[in-house]
Amino acid sequence: MMERIQVGLGDRAYEIVIGPGARALAADLTGRRNFLVTDSRVAELWGSWAAKEIPQAGSFVFPAGERHKTPETVVSICRRAAELRFDRKARFVALGGGVVGDMTGFAAAIYMRGAGFVQIPTTLLAMVDSSVGGKTGVDIPEGKNLIGAFHQPEQVLIDPDFLATLPPGELRCGLAEILKTGVIFDEALFAELERDPDSLTVAPDYARFVPLIRRSCELKAQVVVADEREAGIRALLNYGHTFGHAVELLSDFSIGHGEGVAVGMCCAGELAARLGLWTRKEAERQKRAIAALGLPVALPRHCTVPAMLEAMRRDKKNRDGAIALVLPRRIGAAEVNRDVADAEIGAALEAVHA
Ligand X SMILES: NC(=O)c1ccc[n+]([C@@H]2O[C@H](COP(=O)([O-])OP(=O)(O)OC[C@H]3O[C@@H](n4cnc5c(N)ncnc54)[C@H](O)[C@@H]3O)[C@@H](O)[C@H]2O)c1
Given the rule CB under 6 A, which of 55-63, 94-102, 311-319, 326-334 is the region that contacts ligand X?
A: 94-102
Q: Which residue of the set 241, 248, 270, 287 is catalytic?
A: 241
180 binds ligand X (CB under 6 A): no
326 binds ligand X (CB under 6 A): no
325 binds ligand X (CB under 6 A): no
Asked if 144 is an active-site residue, the reply is no
> Residue 165: what are its φ and ψ, rounded to 5°?
-100, 0
Query: Does residue 299 sit in helix, strand or coil?
Result: strand
Q: Identify which of residues 155 and 282 has a Cβ nearer to ligand X in the complex.
A: 155
How far is residue 102's CA from residue 98's CA, in Å, rounded to a whole number? 6
For 84-207, where are the alpha helices, taking DSSP H only? 98-110, 124-125, 168-185, 187-194
Query: Does residue 32 sit in helix, strand or coil?
Result: coil
> Residue 157: what are its φ and ψ, rounded to 5°?
-110, 110
Q: Cα 43 to chain center, whole Å?
A: 21
Ordered DSSP codes for 11-47? GG-EEEEESTTGGGGGGG--SS-EEEEEEHHHHHHHH
Asked if 353 is an active-site residue, the reply is no
Q: Which residue of the set 80, 91, 172, 257 is catalytic?
A: 257
Residue among 12, 60, 43, 15 nearest 157 (CA): 15
Q: Which residue of the set 41, 144, 172, 234 is catalytic?
A: 234
Query: What is the pattern of x (binds ligand X, CB under 6 A) and - over residues 62-91?
Result: --xxx--x----------------------
Ordered DSSP codes for 151-162? ---SEEEE-GGG
98 binds ligand X (CB under 6 A): yes
List the interface residues with ligand X, window 219-248 (CB under 6 A). none
Q: Residue 27 CB: number of other CB atoms within 10 A?
A: 11
E-state strands within the chain: 3-7, 14-18, 34-39, 58-62, 91-96, 116-121, 135-140, 143-150, 155-158, 325-330, 333-337
162 binds ligand X (CB under 6 A): yes
109 binds ligand X (CB under 6 A): no
Given the rule CB under 6 A, which of 3-11, 124-132, 224-232, 308-316 is the region that contacts ligand X?
A: 124-132
CB of 333 to ligand X, least distance (A): 21
Asked if 68 is an active-site residue, the reply is no
Give the helix, strand, coil percentages of the chain, each rounded to 5: 55, 20, 30
Query: Does residue 269 sit in helix, strand or coil?
Result: helix
Asked if 230 is an active-site residue, the reply is yes
**DSSP structural state of residue 323:** P
Interface residue with ligand X, options 81, 156, 170, 295 (CB under 6 A): 170
List the interface residues with ligand X, window 252-311 (CB under 6 A). 257
Given the rule CB under 6 A, which of 27-35, 120-128, 184-192, 307-315 is the region that contacts ligand X?
A: 120-128
The burial of 321, by beta-carbon neighbours within 10 Å (0-12 exposed, 13-18 middle, 19 or more buried), is given as exposed
216 binds ligand X (CB under 6 A): no
How far is residue 128's CA from residue 208's CA, in Å, rounded to a whole number? 14
CB of 346 to ligand X, least distance (A): 26
166 binds ligand X (CB under 6 A): yes
Asked if 180 is an active-site residue, the reply is no
Interface residue with ligand X, options 34, 119, 123, 242 (CB under 6 A): 123
Residue among 132, 140, 101 nearest 249 (CA): 140
Q: Which residue of the set 23, 68, 144, 245 is catalytic?
A: 245
How far is residue 213's CA from residue 256's CA, in Å, rounded to a whole number? 20
42 binds ligand X (CB under 6 A): yes
Asked if 34 is an active-site residue, the reply is no
Given the rule CB under 6 A, which of 38-46, 55-63, 297-305, 343-351 is the region that contacts ligand X?
A: 38-46
Residues designated catalytic: 113, 135, 177, 220, 230, 234, 238, 241, 245, 257
Contact residues toward ligand X (CB under 6 A) are: 39, 41-42, 45, 64-66, 69, 96-100, 102, 122-123, 125-126, 129-130, 133, 135, 144-145, 162, 165-166, 170, 173, 257
